[in-house]
Structure 1
């Protein structure tokens, strides 16, 4: 701590973490205080402690003594301020605040309703109000209260009075911004914002001398305020950044280490058999020593305990992140990546210079993650989720401020799209843009980190308050960066649909192939040698497979022609944005495909990274280059790696490391141009590239999904459909199943379930894919069918399932009653005649069935085209070939598989749009990449450079005529588009006058159209 502070006066300072109220950034508050000669201040944000730890960390830089507290308010009305005397007082304040943040129905009282030890309480002075003050309680006198104080009884009790000069804004612009934020918070026009909902325009910091002059008639208040702040002291020991996580899983650190050692050696037979090589034991000894030395033993054991529970429940999981570089993690079954096999760089994971602990990202199925979270909260005492600060984005700010100023929606749309000439805008619109830029980046509300969980040694409230989001778990008010600063390191418990697909696919294979032995989906060594999997990789036939199905990854796999595990591990990191940006992706492909190109690598870099031919591909490469090439020690190299992630990019220590890198290289005689180029490569991709162990973990999951796709494509696609796909929408996975011989059926009342099911090679889509079909109807159908058997007719269904006309219409229109062999138009007539418009009653079983009147409905045939449009409406896509819906039947013979022979030629080809990717060129212009399917179901990949992207934009889903030049690079075919036109489809026959005329109806039946497609 910094001693001998003077000039303490400010007891009520706000940052912009006083959400939608304050307008000062935390570091800016300290800078303002320093400029005004203030050397002690109390940070008391409104109902939050988000900025507290950051203020403490930054305060030393500005030579300011920080004091922490909270301004307790109901909306904008101040009830009291609590200020912590010490760390225990801060914890007590956080305990008290959290009570209100966990239960939003509780109103903050006028006075604390509990005794808070080690805390001062300050009440705002109010004329005519009686106060019975305890020894730790004071009245805060604002400058506007001074005149009244002269005539108040409290003038005789000045020992209980303190200076209360609130600081919420830096200047008049800050106050104006505050009023706008208050209007946003109250969802009202600025002109209608009540004065009670805003602060005073004078809530700005004054120079210390000027503030003293303001209170010069009441020197006792100045003395009391100084004394109060001098009695406060807070310390979180940022300099000693030792882990603050739970220290022990067992009773003490010694028994923890003994358990870690025991578990490690017990895992050797499972991973390596009974004849492990000496280098395995050497690696174990090295890692155990460093893990113990750095105090990370409990971090490993807690992860082990969580995953031991997961395995006991049969949950699939993947351990990834830099933790995959550790053999201890491998032996404890935290990860499934063998660091010996991959020669993983352990110093990327832990080294004696590294301050922060290892990073394990544990992925679970999205269906299992919540149970794991419950297990953690039930079994570890001091636990909380980590928050994220959801900030104001520019476009959202324009809309919010547009509403505050009363702009019409059309004008807000124009402003958000950037389609305006600023000089021609009126004054209000210009103000909207001006203040939108100003509040951009301000925290707006607190959310939940994707998977970060803290398990601390001390109570979480020792560090800050917690709130209770709808998820139902206490959540910190500070984010992961602040947590790391204090030495609290998160456990990442994440979810993904890829694991759900794998788990479900194994179950589906079991029921669709009942006589086959249960699959061992963890036999990765066998998968690495499997020829079918190699074929899928080489030919990029990986739709639905984890991490390798996107258009960019599919094209990279084609270019590399990768068919082995190590190649896939590298590809998983090469695909990351920064590698491409640095130009090194192309270099890697060249050197991978053509060995003679490897000679172009700089000898130093080639020696450091022989496996990737001198190209930085992994995060470890940054450390290697920084350490061996740039002369940084491992601590500095790790700081460089972390700094590149973006979290610390602006920090001084990172900039010092950058300068040290250049100085070392130049002093070593390396040419500046070469050093600058190496630095450019580091800077361009290190924040995006994966650790090698992380990529290896992804590759393991890719191999599991590739195995299922290679041997059980229909079952795997069914699981993919049920987990709502991956990179693409459901329609493409339905198409992929059809490409593998699957017969796709619309939902059926007597066969389907909520998810899709497969029987042999027939896949019935599930009820959950029908838009607007209520879940309670699905549950009742399945329950009724299980208890009382299949439905025999529409009447039988209506008798047994209480349902509205609107809901049964969905089922009839999707042809779910096709087993009746009655045309669905006739069924719709029957349903409307037989079902009451009123709310249906629950079905009650009676001895005698109600006799329903049998109506004679007219013969109303429906066509296959109507079925297709019903499917588009209810499923989002047709079950027939979309090319059959073209207004003018296609005569084009050109297909995707012809393009390989047409390099450099201009072609005209038709494609059904699958997905697009928008990106910007170096000069900021918009361009696109497109993915289409041809009539045969094969992919067409397109590039749309800015002039074409502007002239021929995508116009939504549909079939396009593509004209462009065929480009081939590394055997990968793309069409460089010069013209793009969306082709017209048939008018919806359900609403077409022509469809009422039999001469215009296509007489093909539903079965005929299906047969034509299949």
Structure 2
């Protein structure tokens, strides 16, 4: 009897989750229920799933509105009707056009027009699928209306948007947030009625007791609206079925491609390789994933044709078929990758292929996918729900309640005493709690693309975001539930570095012949590269450059490919949290420690010394240690990746895990310790193939860094850096012998460039310089260099503000004049030189020669100009200090002071904010000492609270030197940011001393 029901996917309107709606229906004893969200079908599939699970017959539709004006409610008779509605809704969302006052013809849908809407538009003809919706408040009007004559067309139209008065208040707040108005200014027409809530079915029908025909019509209409989707464990694969016309042709093509690539990938094709390939191919066919592999192969083929670099990651990297197709460059035979992590008969979804491209190439690959597979809406980007977070909800509600900004900031940051807050502030916090976690708006999944056999609108309406690709209105969990498996196409700066570095090397060293970067195996045994890794000299190199990885590489003494694969997973929070990272290091470094391993776990995981490191280790332990079948083990695998939905299912497997171990005679202490390790993996552990993919890319980067460090650093800078800021990579280039030049109108391009060992920063680093002006400078000098300021101003039309930026960064040093002289000339001549590029001049105007005094620009002044305009300085940063450092202790001295208190000075590179197991905040710091070498610090909670970081700069660090596994850190006891000198550009009393005395020979070499 309820035909118009909203979930909270009636965004910024409804307040009820889909499962709560079903609970309301169950409480009423209803056998059938319908979801009709406002201009949205986000919740439909999950609603159907929950309804079917609870033995309620589901129906779906759309409440069609312009603004908050309800035009009509459309109900799908069946799945084909849902397709019609999604196509209709998508067309209007894509083109941002209003909905028509009357619905178009639908073959498989019913349309209900509200009573008042019919009166307004004086509609007097109704087709067989059209009805008039009567609300409780319309009954008295109906008695005196000519519409009462349409007896067969009258149905009950009661709206359900919230459950109670509190949720009605939340609804009003959501509407105010949506309209960006104060709650007191929210128009009546922009909100629902307080009566729009679920009422007892008997009460609803009792209101229509005088109109039994309306009740009968409503029941009949409701019964005519059913929809079904399969969410079972053996659900049908909804992805594109074939690539080459038929399943048989697809399979034969897949086999042929693999056979062709066997001799390419392997020097010797062993029985083990042949058996593994045969096993995989049969299972892929049996599981109906042949087209899934072929689509990924076609994507890779296109990328190779376009010379796009890629890395294939995810559990698919455990597959020899993926290796032969070129989807990944990880050899599962070499690494003994666990087959059952890749695929098994119990696994309900295909393996993951996370395919990375450079950020610049990803857009083109996505376009190819849509053009090749997406005709007639058979492809779409995957959606994602952006939910209200507590802090954001506080800000939105603070505005709605009219609180001043400083009070909103205080509430949002949690910097308040609850006992001193006024009632309005308490209301903000109260309702922020209710909004927390509820959907706010639909966005785009970071990487997922769906390619379906049926039109994508069979499952959902689509939005059209600025990128221009249709995007479904549901997330990855719903997609997997329904049998739509995503193709993950990601953008990654690391690949852009590799591609650009190779191009820069070829330009800077035209006589060099580079090896095929895709064939990484020779890099794995390169002694120079492995020595770099063991010393953690990996700045700029993808995954291995972070402070945490630098620490782990040194502790483990990593000097080969297999150890780097392990390190890539050990660093993950799950392994670290379980305490097994430390245990792994101990067993790796001290063989005697390996005797502590449980014999069963040692037999299962000898390569990791009986320590669970990878996702597949959990499957192995569950299967071989706890005697769970592979299906049950896969529940654990999905559980720890965060993709499972049923806590009940996970708990059942946990109980069986414990029960089976007890039957095997295992003591509870061991059982629960193993289970603790499994649980700690939740959401964090890598598949071994995934880690191997990371290691392959790291080796590719390390090869370039090892043999062509300057070119690689330029590529790193041009791709937005990596873990660190740009100045860190500039410093790294200096360490390798580069001379770094500020931007130059004669030598620089938009991006950073290199000639020999001279690196010229690009114009893009100058803060505030407009892109069009960068292009104009580069274009203007194509045929002729700039010979003077007048010449430059005549050929490049810049505002005085833009010209000022170039002069102060010393980009015009090629004119042989200091910055002050050039600034004086620019400001004096600008009114003459400022030209219109579209108007040719008849005469060249000169300017009168003026004699100026000699100006002296000090390194300190240069440093402050660079700090302002680049946000970093190319000068030695320690010249900025107000007072010289009192300690000359450096990083290379620390080994002589183990367990002693020391003072050292460091330039802050980065600080990692984390929390202890008790929730207390602490930090890990990374600095450069005055010689330019790394200093690592740890700031435990009491120190972190008393001596917080206060931005970029040079710090005086007091602490205890400690060493663990030969990695030295300082446990900080006191931290103080050292004051800089006054900015000499604004200090007329500044004494221009000789700053060269501040730099020792080391600094002249590095900085």
TM-score by length of 1: 0.97
Q: 2:532 aligns with which of 533, 536, 546?
A: 536
Distance 1:80 1:922 in 2: 54
Cα drift, residue 242 of structure 1: 2.2
Which residue of the other structure, out of 211, 217, 221, is the alignment partner of 1:224? 217
Separation of aligned partners in 2, 1:850 and 1:1003: 42
Does residue 177 (structure 1) correspond to residue 170 (structure 2)? The answer is yes
Query: After superposition, where does 1:484-523 map in structure 2 within 5 Å?
Result: 484-523=480-519
Question: Residue 865 of structure 2 corresponds to which residue in structure 1?
Answer: 870
Taking the aligned partners of 1:651 and 1:84, their CA distance within structure 2 comes to: 32
Measured at CA, do residues 553 and 977 of structure 1 come closer, stay the same or move farther in structure 2, by a change above 3 Å? same
Mapped partners of 1:673, 1:576: distance in 2: 25
8 Å Cα contact 1:364-1:494 kept in structure 2: yes
CA distance in 1, matches of 2:203, 2:238: 42
- Farther off after superposition, 308-317 or 892-901: 892-901
Give a deviation string over 1:670-703, Cα, whole Å, max 9, x none. Answer: 2222111111100101421100000000000000
Match of 1:50 among 42, 53, 56: 42
**In the alignment, is residue 719 of structure 1 matched against residue 715 of structure 2?**
yes
CA distance in 1, matches of 2:87, 2:321: 38
Q: Equivalent of 2:755, from 744, 755, 759?
A: 759
SS of the residue 2:37 aligns to = coil
> Offset of 1:896 from its aligned partner?
0.8
Give the drift of 1:38: 2.3
Contact 1:804/1:837 (<8 A) preserved:
no
Ranges in structure 2 where 5+ consecutive residues have no aligned partner: none
Deviation at 1:993, TM superposition (A): 3.0
Partners in 2 of 1:35 and 1:966 — Cα distance?
65
1:146 aligns with 2:139: yes
SS in 1 for 2:2: strand
**Structure 1 residue 660 corresponds to structure 2 residue 653:** no
Unaligned ranges ≥5, structure 1:
1-8
Separation in structure 1 between the aligned mates of residue 657 and residue 997 of structure 2, nearest angstrom: 73
Pair 1:20-2:7 in alignment? no
> Counterpart of 2:781 in 1: which secondary structure?
helix
**Equivalent position SS for 1:994:** coil
- On the 8 A contact 2:793/2:833 being kept in 1, the answer is no
Secondary structure of the structure 2 residue equivalent to 1:45 = strand
Please report the RMSD computed on the Cα atoms of aligned residues, expressed in angstroms. Answer: 1.7
Residue 398 (1) aligns with residue 390 (2): no
Question: Is the counterpart of residue 119 in structure 1 residue 103 in structure 2?
Answer: no
Q: Does structure 1 retain, via aligned residues, the 8 Å contact 2:230–2:236?
A: no
Q: 1:73 aligns with which of 40, 65, 69?
A: 65
- CA separation in 1, counterparts of 2:418 and 2:682? 38
Query: Match of 1:344?
Result: 337
Matching of residue 270 in structure 1 with residue 264 in structure 2: yes
Counterpart of 1:750 (choices 733, 746, 749) is 746
Q: Does 1:832 align with 2:827?
A: yes
Residue matched to 1:290: 283
The answer to whether the 8 A contact 1:387-1:478 is kept is: yes
Shift of 1:632: 1.3
CA apart distance, 1:1005: 13
What is the deviation of 1:261? 0.4
Distance in 2 (CA, whole Å) between partners of 1:177 and 1:217 is 35
Among 936, 940, 945, which residue is 1:941 paired with?
A: 936
Distance 2:882 2:543 in 1: 37
- Cα distance per residue 1:381-423 (max 9 Å; x no partner): 3100001101111111111000000111111111122122212
Q: Please say if residues 642 and 682 of structure 2, whose CA atoms lie closer than 8 Å, have aligned partners that are also in contact.
A: no
- Alpha-carbon distance in 1 for matches of 2:1006, 2:824: 30
Question: What residue is the counterpart of 1:64 in the other structure?
Answer: 56
Contact 1:800 1:843 in 2 (8 A): no
Which of the residues 574, 589, 604 maps onto 2:570?
Answer: 574
Give distance in 1, aligned partners of 2:720 and 2:862: 23
Give deviations 1:129-188, integer Å, cap 9, x for gaps: 322221111111111111111111122222111111111101111110010010000001
SS in 2 for 1:367: helix
- Mapped to 2, the partners of 1:1004 and 1:940 lie a distance apart of 25
SS in 2 for 1:126: helix
Deviates more, 1:893-902 or 1:544-553: 893-902
Q: Which of residues 100, 114, 117 in structure 2 aligns to 1:109?
A: 100
Q: Distance in 1 between matches of 2:935 and 2:969?
A: 7
TM-score, scaled relative to structure 2? 0.97
The 5-angstrom pairing of residues 597-616 of structure 1 reads 597-616=593-612
Indicate yes or no: 2:235 matched with 1:241: yes
Partner of 1:3: none
Residues 70 and 919 of structure 1, relative CA distance in 2, 3 Å threshold: same
Deviation at 1:860, TM superposition (A): 3.9
Q: Is the 8 A contact 2:794 2:833 kept in 1?
A: no
- Equivalents in 1 of 2:478, 2:987: separation in Å? 62
1:159 aligns with 2:149: no
1:684 corresponds to which residue?
A: 680
Q: Equivalent residue for 1:455?
A: 451
**Within-5 A mapping of 1:899-910:** 899-910=894-905
Residue in 2 that maps onto 1:4: none
Could you give the per-residue CA deviations for residues 469-512 of structure 1, whole angstroms, max 9, x where no partner exists? Answer: 01110000001110000000000000100000011111111111
CA contact (8 A) 2:565 2:688 kept: yes
Question: Does the 8 Å contact 1:38/1:207 carry over to 2?
Answer: no
CA positional deviation for 1:201: 0.9
Asked if the contact 1:591/1:598 (under 8 Å) is kept, the reply is yes
For the residue of structure 2 that corresponds to 1:389, the secondary structure is strand
What's the CA shift string for 1:44-81, capped at 9, x where partnerless? 11111110000111112322111010111112211111
What's the counterpart of residue 215 of structure 1?
208
| CA 1:140–1:858: 2 relative to 1, 3 Å | farther
Deviation at 1:923, TM superposition (A): 1.4
**May I ask how many residue pairs the two structures share in their alignment?**
999
For 2:250, the equivalent position in structure 1 comes to 256
Alignment partners' CA distance in 2, 1:837 and 1:919: 57
1:328: Cα distance to partner?
A: 0.6
Give per-residue Cα distances to partners, 1:721-759, cap 9 Å, x unaligned. Answer: 110111111010001111111111000000000111111
Say which SS state the counterpart of residue 916 (structure 1) adopts.
strand
Distance 2:30 2:394 in 1: 36
Distance 1:721 1:340 in 2: 37
